[in-house]
Structures are given as structure tokens and as C-alpha cells.
Amino acid sequence: MSTKDEILSRIRENTGRRYEMPDLTLDAITYEDRVSTFADNLKAAGGEAVVLQPGEDVNAVIRRAFPKVRRVASNLAGITCATFNPDDLDDPRELNGTDLSVVRASFGVAENGAVWLPLNVRFKAVYFISEALVILLDRRELVNNMNEAYRRTAATEYSYGTFMAGPSKTADIEQALVFGAHGPMRVMVILE
């Protein structure tokens, strides 16, 4: 028996009366216009949302927003502005120097502007190593709040997933906000 198991066993032995977990009934916040709420909250988190208009080409939107990028990673069909497929690489370190990655989120959360990124690429480094990240999201896949979001993740199978709300950022004790400290400096969500 490991130390952890031994400790847990002793805790169980010395636990008094046990109570069943109650059913949680929450009147969580909902939004009349999830798209604009999502866009506003993503902006507050340092990201940007673009609502794709009917007939508008997603590749043209990406090229306009990121005119100077040279190395663009994407494994998504239809992303013609990509210069390479990151799934073809043998080592995630080969992603170093990537200017932009284009990925797809399963759903977004209006409450905080976050998106759920399950592992849809060979290396999860794709989500964090590039200077900028474009996330494609079906606007019909917006949920209201994190309560709905967690229920949705519980109903799916995934080996890895993360919520991302805007670019990487950190602030030190002097309150100097720095973008791109642990991931992309710029995050754009394109709502299709």
C-alpha cells in the first residue's frame, strides 16, 4: 500500500457520519445574446472575437488580421493559409518558431469568453507555442456559463482539454501586465 493509500485509508476509518452529495440546483446566469456577451468578455480577457459574415472566407479574415505571419500551423481542412500541418511533425519542438496556429474549439462560454479546446492535434503544444492563435468556433456552440460548460465536458470523451480565454497573461507584484508569458500573445476567435 502506498503512503497516499495509507493516508486515505486512515481518513476513511476516522470519518464520522458520511453524507451523500446533494443535487445542485443552480439558477446560473443566462444571456439573451450569447454572441455579443462572449465577444465582450473575450475582449475584456485580452482576446478578440470576429463574427464571420455570410459568404466571407475565413482564410481572408485570417490573412487580413495577421498580414505578416510566415509560419502558419493548422490541421483543419479548408484552412488554405496554413503553411504546414503540425500533425506531420515528429517532435513538438519542431513547432518552435510558429507565428500562428489555427485550431477549432468545441464550444465557447459567454460568461467569460473562454473556449473549450480538446486535443484535436497531435501535440498540445500547438495551442501554446505560436505567437498568435486563431480559434474557429461555431457560434451555435456557445453555452451561457461555466456550469453548462462543465456539464458538457463531462458528457464527452477526451484525452486532454483546456479552457482558454484570451492570450496568455501574467502580472507581477508591481502589477505590470505582460501578454504572451506562457502562451500566445494574441488570441482571435472567429465565430462561424
Query: How far is CA 145 from its chain centroid?
Result: 15
C-alpha 132/C-alpha 136 separation (Å) is: 13
Residues 110-162 have pLDDT tens digits of: 999 999 999 999 999 999 999 999 999 999 999 999 999 999 998 888 889 99
Whether residue 20 has pLDDT greater than 90: no
The pTM assigned to this predicted structure is 0.83
Alpha-carbon torsion (53, 180, 157, 111), positive or negative? negative
Residues 67-121 have pLDDT tens digits of: 999 999 999 999 999 999 999 999 999 999 999 999 999 999 999 999 999 999 9
